[in-house]
Amino acid sequence: MGETLQADPVASPAAVVLEELGSDGDRGLSAEEAARRLAEYGPNELRGTPPVPRWRRFIAQFNSPLIYLLLVAIVISAVAWAMDDSHGEPVPVDAIVIALIVLLNAVMGYLQESKAADAVAALQQMTKAHSIVLRDGKRIDVESTELVPGDILVLGEGDEVGADGRLIHSSALRIAEASLTGESEPVEKDTEPLEGEVALGDRTNMVHKGTAVTQGVGRAVITHTGMSTEMGAIATMLDSTDAEDSPLTKEINHLGKVLGIGVIIIAAIVMATAIWMSPNRDASSVIAALILAVSLAVAAVPEGLAAILTVVLSLGVQRMARSNAIVKDLNSVETLGSASVIASDKTGTLTRNEMTIQQVVTASGQIEVSGVGYSPEGGVTESGKPLDQKVLHEAQVVLRGGSIANDASLDEKDGEWTIQGDPTEAAFQVAAHKIDGVLADIKAYERLGEVPFTSARKMMSVVGKLPEQGTVLYSKGAPDVLLGNCSTELVDDQQVDLTEERRQQILKQTEELAGQAFRTLAVAFRPLSGMDELGDEFDEDDEQDLCWAGVAAMIDPPRGEAADSIAEAHRAGIRVLMITGDHPATAARIASDLGIVEQGAVAVTGAEIDDMDDEAFDAALREHSVYARVAPKHKMRIVDTLQAQGEIVAMTGDGVNDAPALKTADIGVAMGITGTEVTKEAAQMVLADDNFATIVGAVRQGRLVFDNIRKFLRFLLSSNMGEVFTVFGGTVLAGFLGLRVDGALVAPLLATQILWINLLTDSAPALAMGIDPAVDDVMDRKPRPSDQRVISTTMWLRILWVGLVMGAITLGTLDWFLPGGLIEGGDSVDVARTAAFTTLVLAQLFNAFCSRSFSASAFHGAFSNKWLWGAVVLAVVLQFLVVEVPILQGAFGTATLNLEHWLFCVAAASMVLWLEEIRKLIVRLQHRQNADE
């Protein structure tokens, strides 16, 4: 919190703010007063989300309509067992097995989400920030959490600002505020009051928590701490932002409801039919009908669906984690695969956040500087040709002067290059490594005096000695300002007079560079006979009669891998938007360099967004892909409008200002290295390497996971439909099939047999399909529409078709061996039912191969999934044991089958494969015909 200020600190003189906060600009607070205020206002930290107790996280795993359905099945099975006086089993086997499956699913989900949460927590663990403050007139180092309103914060180059404050002293102070405003370039700060309503990015007399000093020194009186800071205000916005369920979560919940309603209706019909067909409608017949209805319920519910879904998503999460994408919620894996728009921040996400000189313009020409970032790798050329010696000499002077009139430093450690100070100054240091004849002079230069940079002057100068050139004054600053202090221009190694025509030509060149989104800094110099030529001291009056050397053009370059990733996203039908707080020209230039937009496209600004009504903004958002000078409210509006247009939005960002939009988006993606704590908490996925390419890789993985989810859904649901049609058809058509013995209805399958089928086929084969290799390039197609269900109408028709086929061949097998019915058989009820039971198991195993693709033949890449073959072989072996081992025969109500029985079962079950191959052939021919048309 902060002290209540009557006056606006932005508009009020610093002395007034100090007085209201009861602080002294020279001595700060006393230790006792600071302790009192810390106790009153609390630590200087953002309010985090209270940790969810472990027991509640575990209970949350049961919060699914599908799980509710299984819990109901457990209760019904247990009640039916208790009501059965004969107690065929000593314990309620059905209820126990289903309960174990539900429990196993909950444990798996809990462990995987806990592992993901631990990974995110590890990313958020950073060294505790420290700040320098004045206490009792002394500078002391305190943890930033101990800062209080009224503290005098001492700021220096490289410091992180620990709280919001009003500047009371500033000398060449520049602060990087990208994490708060999205502005990539450091902001010049001063102490003057500002009039009127001032936007956050323009409050030049304020410093804010979470930003960093890049140049100069200053002091500020802290006005706000903790949740009262600008960072805290954005964090508060998250409290009113609701997170959306993922499309997969919605679909599975919908599936659970549909299955629940369907099970109730069908089970009621079967139970009523069984009671009606019973010769004695007494309590025992009601119990028998109830057990049959429960069997049908067990058949209809894919018990393994929730567990398999958790496993497949978990495996996807683990693969993503190995690729530096930490997914906090399992269902977010599928959401990524469905993303149709990636709305990305620019600074540090699409760009390197490393200012780089790319051009140097001098009197004799223009050179290009290769290489990007702070690694001093690259060289210089003139339009791709070897350098003319005149241009080379002039460029050397520009880079030498810019590196000497400079307070930044470039350091290398363990192969990694880092900077201290202003990024624009560091750009000169890097470029100096790329041109011969400069580094030695920079290292040898002995600085004797300095006139520092200020926002009013827009230039800085240094004076010192070079071993071979003697005393030299170097100046660096804004081109228009520095040009006014120059009387001559360097041409080769000569100084020639600057004419008015040449001045206008230089200004035009500078404007052209600015139009290409370059930031420009000019360099000038003046040789001196000695320090005595400057008089008593070196000051602004000596920055005259300079010789113009040239202009360096720099830019925060795009990440090289980002362009390839954007191209792949476009190939996959995914639209990429750039949303940044940076200058419109810079945003448009970077976007065109990356391939987000065509050359010449313009950026829409936040001010323009404010002037648009909903209809106009909707149209603009469909047309434009670059947005600049935007505030958090604009990002929220962009995401909301995209979602209203039916898009599934992945929003990336690293700054605090991105957090509300990340939470609103279908999936928020935070940067793990540069991202703030608030941003990581709001996001569903964190990038450990801050690499945009990792996002596209995660989208690829998400699409593969989604494809595999659809595969095992086709398999599980069609297989369960086969069981439903078998039980339902066997009950309704019992008279035709010979399933009535002494007037009593005989169940076509026993409850334990149905449960065994589900355990056998809903486990290993379904899991193997969940990790099936990609049949084709998943990035070579458009995202699925947001209104398209995971299980489409076409997919439901295929599920019902295969279920009918399996039900028909299972009942046909039963009738083939059973005495009576449409076909007169000669085997006992137990043998006939065992043959039908085995046929249904084998039919589902054939269905596993059919379900790998909706249209491709099962023989296409049939051996690419070794796990599926292993699961099928295991299932066949286990089924053989259940049928042939005496102890298992008693448990599952089976009887021994001879070779003729087995061959018939295999032949009958294979009908699923052959009929599906005919259907797929028809589908492929139709697709080919439509393509030709």
| Active-site amino acid positions | 345
How deeply is 51 buried, as exposed, middle or buried, from its count of CB atoms within 10 A (0-12, 13-18, 19+)? Answer: exposed
- Residue appearing with tokens 């999936």: 667
**CA 861 from chain center: how many Å?**
32
- What is d(CA 370, CA 376) in angstroms, rounded to the nearest whole number? 10
- What is d(CA 175, CA 210) in angstroms, rounded to the nearest whole number? 11
Residue (of 628, 587, 638) closest to 604 by Cα position: 628
- What is d(CA 786, CA 767) in angstroms, rounded to the nearest whole number? 26
- What is d(CA 814, CA 725) in angstroms, rounded to the nearest whole number? 13
Please count the residues of the chain.
933
Q: Which tokens in the block code for residue 292? A: 């049959």
Buried b (16+ CB within 10 A) or exposed e, 866-887: ebbbebbeebbebbeebbeeee
Q: Which tokens in the block code for residue 476? A: 């660096």
Residue (of 440, 384, 432, 383) closest to 409 by Cα position: 432
Q: Which residues touch 494 (CB under 8 Å, ≥6 apart)? A: none
**Cα first-last separation, the chain:** 69
Dihedral over Cα of 464, 459, 351, 631: its sign: positive
- What is d(CA 910, CA 639) in angstroms, rounded to the nearest whole number? 50
- What is d(CA 74, CA 91) in angstroms, rounded to the nearest whole number? 13
Q: Is 877 helix (H, G, I), strand (E, B) or coil?
A: helix
Where residue 600 falls (left for φ over 0; alpha for ψ -120 to 50; beta otherwise) is: left
Residue (of 660, 641, 659, 836) closest to 757 by Cα position: 836
Given a contact cutoff of 8 angstroms between Cβ atoms, the answer to whether 783 and 575 are in contact is no
- Beta-sheet pairing, 470-477 with 519-528: antiparallel
- What is d(CA 498, CA 485) in angstroms, rounded to the nearest whole number? 11
User: Which amino acid is present at 642?
Assistant: L
Strands (E), 606-715: 626-628, 649-653, 667-671, 685-687
The HSE-up count of residue 205 (CA atoms within 13 Å, CB side) is: 20
Element (H, E) at 203: none
